[in-house]
Structure 1
Amino acid sequence: MDKLNAMSVFVRVVERGSFSAVAREMHTSQPTISKMLQALERELGGKLIARSTRKLSLTDEGQRYYEQCRHILAAVDAAEHNFQSGRETIAGPLRIGSSVSFGRLQIAPRLPAFLRRYPGIQVDLQLSDQNQDLVSEGLDVTLRIGALNDSGLIARHIGTTHRMTVAAPHYLAQHGEPRTPEDLRGHNCLQFNLLTSQNVWVYNHGAHRHEVRIKGNAQSNNSEAIRELVLGGLGVALSPVWLFSEDLKAGRVTALLRDYTAQPLPINAVSPANRRQSARVKAFVDYMSQALETAPELQAIK
């Protein structure tokens, strides 16, 4: 039995929570994966996984062995990487995560050029407006906007999402235009509810900081849904410049409070702490960092 390979399969089964998912990853069958783990259990002399019809759960011994296997595999991976540094081929599968709107509008349009540069990579772009668990989802890297709460991740800052306050002209014709952040209290403010401070909008004006608690009759966990509500004349939104840049040029929305700077949000490329960043992950992160640095829609509105 290839002990190291069996340990790797065991770790992936724990991370994915499914024999079948790991079998698909390895282009083999579920019974083959099951037999490998049974052989490992016989070698160890005890059960690693308590199998049930609903889910997989680790035995106490299995949990300890899983943690030890992660460290061992990470050490082996690091040793190989140090030996092969500079010679690693930029090829193979790359599983990328992102929010729906950012992935559709900022990542997907840039993938053709990226794949022309690296034709040996096969991209799997997974979009979700919930914070994806990198390990259980099998993601190599995910792009996240906003403050990071999980300190157990490897993060690289690759850009900034500048934000602007917007409303449709027909909304403003009916309700008037706010001149200061405090005026927003009298407006119907549309909330993007995945931010921790969804109902507090923060602005800076010189040395002064304005924190305004807003309220409104609609919210969503999807940026493009907020955009549709704004275009429909429902209210005011504090949203990424990249979401409304074309609407602003076309006059479909008006930028408000231009003398005030809305608090920007960082864009981070995040990877699991226990998984070495491959050459293809580094290539993608470098590519996106360069692309976002020069993208007009990622710049602050003057």
Structure 2
Amino acid sequence: MDKLHAMSIFVRVIERGSFSAVARELQTTQPTISKVLRALERQLGGKLIARSTRKLSLTDEGQRYYNECRTILAAVDAAEHSFQSGRETVAGPLRIGSSVSFGRLQIAPRLTAFLERYPQVQIDLQLSDQNQDLVSEGLDVSLRIGALSDSGMIARPIGVTHRITVAAPAYLERHPAPLAPADLRLHNCLQFNLLSSQNLWTYEKDGQRHEVRIQGNAQSNNSEAIREMVLGGLGIALSPVWLFSEDLKAGRVVALLQDYRTQPLPMHAVFPANRRQSARIHAFVDHMAQALATAPELMPVR
């Protein structure tokens, strides 16, 4: 039995919480994964996993072995990467996580150029508006917008996205446009509720900071749902410029409070701390960082 291979499978099964998920990743069968783990348990002389119909859980011995396996595999990975550095081929599967809107509008359109340059990479783009757990979802890298929580992950800054205050002409026909941030208290403001700032919108002008606690009758954890509410004339939103760039050009929305600067949102590429950053991960993150740095739809509206 290849001990390192078995240890790697054991760790992936625990991280994914599923034999079948790991079987799909490795393009093999669930019985094959089970056979490898049974052989590992026999060689160790004890149970690693307490199996049940609902979920997998580690025995006490399994938990200790799992922690040691992660350390060993990370060390082996680091040694291989050190040896191969500079000559590793940009190839193989790459599983990427992102929010739905950013993935659809900013990542997906840039994959053609990336794959033309690196045709041996196979992309799996996983989109969710919840912050995905990179380990349990089997993600190699996730692109995130906004302040990061202290999750023990490794993060690389890849740029910022600016925001804009917008409303549809239909809404402004019924309500006078706000002239200052304080006027937003009189308006129906639509809240994207996954940001840490919650319902506090912050602006700056001439070195003075303006914070407004907004309120409204609708919110969502999906930015494209917020866009649809704005286009329907429901209220005012503070959103990334790229979400409304085409609507601004077409006159479907109007930019408000342009004399005031809004706080930009940082963008990061996030990696699992215990997983090697392969050449394909580095290549993809470099590609996105370069593309986003010059993307006009991420720049402030003038």
Same fold (TM over 0.5): yes
Partner of 1:292: 292
Partner of 1:38: 38
2:146 is aligned with what amino acid? G
SS at match of 1:86: coil
Give the fraction of aligned pairs with identical amino acids, expressed as a percent: 80
The CA deviation at 1:101 is 0.3
Please identify runs of 4+ aligned residues in structure 1 that moved more than 4 A. Answer: none
SS at match of 1:148: coil
Could you tell me whether the CA contact under 8 Å between 2:165 and 2:255 is conserved in 1? yes
* Long gaps (5+) in structure 1: none
Partner of 1:269: 269
Partner of 2:69: 69
The CA deviation at 1:27 is 1.4
Partner of 1:135: 135
SS at match of 1:64: helix
After TM superposition, list the pairs within 5 Å mapping 1:183-222 onto structure 2: 183-222=183-222
The CA deviation at 1:208 is 1.0
Does structure 1 residue 93 correspond to structure 2 residue 98? no
The CA deviation at 1:151 is 4.0
Does structure 1 residue 247 correspond to structure 2 residue 255? no
SS at match of 1:124: strand
Could you tell me whether the CA contact under 8 Å between 2:147 and 2:196 is conserved in 1? no
Output the aligned Cα RMSD. 0.8
The CA deviation at 1:234 is 0.6
Q: Which whole-Å deviations, capped at 9, do the CAs of 1:208-235 have from their partners, x for residues lacking one?
A: 1111100001111111111111111110
SS at match of 1:166: strand
Counterparts of 1:188 and 1:38, CA distance in 2: 60
TM-score norm. by structure 2 comes to: 0.99
SS at match of 1:54: coil
SS at match of 1:57: strand
Counterparts of 2:297 and 2:151, CA distance in 1: 29
The CA deviation at 1:119 is 0.3
Could you tell me whether the CA contact under 8 Å between 2:74 and 2:275 is conserved in 1? yes
2:297 is aligned with what amino acid? E
The CA deviation at 1:247 is 0.9
Counterparts of 2:204 and 2:11, CA distance in 1: 47
Tell me how many residue pairs correspond in the alignment.
302
2:25 is aligned with what amino acid? E
* Long gaps (5+) in structure 2: none
TM-score norm. by structure 1 comes to: 0.99
The CA deviation at 1:137 is 0.4
Q: Which whole-Å deviations, capped at 9, do the CAs of 1:127-157 have from their partners, x for residues lacking one?
A: 0010000000000001000011034111111
1:134 is aligned with what amino acid? L
SS at match of 2:95: strand
2:300 is aligned with what amino acid? A
Could you tell me whether the CA contact under 8 Å between 2:191 and 2:219 is conserved in 1? yes
